[in-house]
Structure 1
Amino acid sequence: MTETRRLVSEERDVLEMFGLDEAQEAVYLTVLDLPSVTCSDLRRRRPDLPPERIDAALDHLEKNGLVAHRTTPHDRYVAVPPDIALLDWLQRRTSALLEAQSTIGTLTKRYQAVSRHEEPAALLEVVLGVSALDRWNQCLAGANREIRVFERPPYSELRPWVAAGTANPIQMDLLAKGVRCRLIYDRAAIDARPNLDELREGIEGGEEARVVGELPLRMTLIDDQLALLPLRHEHPVSEGMLLVRPSPLLTALSALFEAVWQQAPPLIIDCIPGEGGEDPARLDESLVVIAGLLVAGLSDQAVARHLGVSVRTVERRIQRLAAALGAKTRFQAGALAARHGWI
């Protein structure tokens, strides 16, 4: 008995998908269980349904091809085989759904042809005060695919990892989640750091880093959906932020990043032996490191400070690098190292 009730319940669930209400389901299942049936038979078998509802249900079932009405020899109803009746209904519904899908595509094209950002506020958002830095970090943490960064000062006192010489914890979390991080540093961004530990930690964590002499602005691009800029040039983010949503301006900023990225050499950072402990096996590697820092535009003093060696040691290694490449100046040595594929 329990199994019969379960089957009846499943049948009703299926029939509901075909658009039959409770009375239509009851009448259809009754007809389905009999060779043929008259209206009187249905009223006798389904006393729970008013006669008018039985008549209306029969009309609906006949109209939709689920039952057939035979007037001779008696006024009787028979069920049309379900594999014919319901399959035909399903094919008609499928055809209607395909047509609806095509219509959705047409409507979507019409929607996309119209600008939805008529108000400037829909394209640009200004965030003022210290909350701008919080908003910047929130947007950064929400990246799903890729961040692209123009990294340059000034830095806010609210960015403690820069002063501490440690990597941005938000960026390290993104790298751990598989988000691609491409950063372009300018010379001032490297000089502003007390050491190279932060940069080395990021690169070892998967960051793709390149370097140029000077960047025109500070910028973070997130998933091709947002651009974050300081509100004022040469001011830290903590004083205000400009948020740019998808628009021709965002497209231009993205193109600017890619153009600089193509021209910028990789930022190569590694430890080199200190004074008195030079390892011949690492000599070429140490010159590669110095070449990368020269391309970044660092002075001899800055290179020495970052690498923890004396200025004289840096000068001596630059001379060896220049001699190996036939360069006459320190900048030419860095440029030739890049051209030879050292960096």
Structure 2
Amino acid sequence: MANSARNNGPDAGDIGLALYQVLRSHGSSVPAKATAAAGLTEEEAAPGWAELESLGLIRPGRMPDEVDPIEPDTALLGLLARQREQLRTQQTALSEVLTSAESLMERYRPTVQRESAEIEVELVISDERKRQTLAEFNASITTSTGSMHPGPLPASDILAQSIKADEELVRRGIKVRAIYSQSVDSAPRQRKYLAQLSATGVEVRLAPQIPFDLLIADTHTAFMVANPENPSEAAIVVRGSALIRTYVALFEDCWLRSVPYSAQAAGTFDPDGELTEQHRTTMRLLANGLTDERIARKLGVSLRTVSRLVSEIMRYLQADSRFQAGVLAVTHGLV
């Protein structure tokens, strides 16, 4: 019978029934013996034993490791008793949920509604409305502004307008900070723009990667593109400090990971330039393919310090990636 069952691929129910019949015939038995008596291997019998246990058809025997068969009617009564207990538990849990829901709706929700009234998200589609919104954005700044730009840079006339606007902000005593992708510092027109921007008093930094375009006015308004893949499409304006805090934290993290822009050093590479021993050690570890975590352990510094060192090395070597930085370090004989 067992051989025929294996050939026909029995399901757990057939196997469970075969094991149950053995137990009914032999009484209390160690599962291994009952399995052998049914002509099954332990692997074949496993789903059958699982079914018998789930249905409540077996229980521990008087002797260690033995199991006893249970009458189906008794097993059914036990199953119904467990179900009643589960329903009572669910009813208790449901009552607790309803009590909590009332507390949330009556006590806490009004507070959030008051905060939400101070939050506004606007989708800006037309170019004219974008220009008007940016003008309003600049006029609303009172102390500081930060921006991130992954590139590529827009047309020259737009860059000229941007420099003029930033120059006006600096004249008003506004602290202006801007982060650009390192790839921006790779062509004469782009380097010229960065130099002009820096000359107006804007603090400019370069980073290996920037997630998306972002402008922040103080801590109350953020302006960003709706589709990072196509910056010329619609823009999103978010107002309200409850939401802006997240964007401020993102900007500050990118700022700490970026490298200060130097117009004098832009576009140049001096293999005999100033590099600390820490930079050179980091370059050697980069060239060997180590991760930031392993480099941090080797140098005994934090991950943030390693990120800064790697960014400075990439800026120094004019590399677009960690891999390229390692290759250039070897090429120039720096490691």
TM-score normalized by the length of structure 2: 0.46
TM-score normalized by the length of structure 1: 0.45
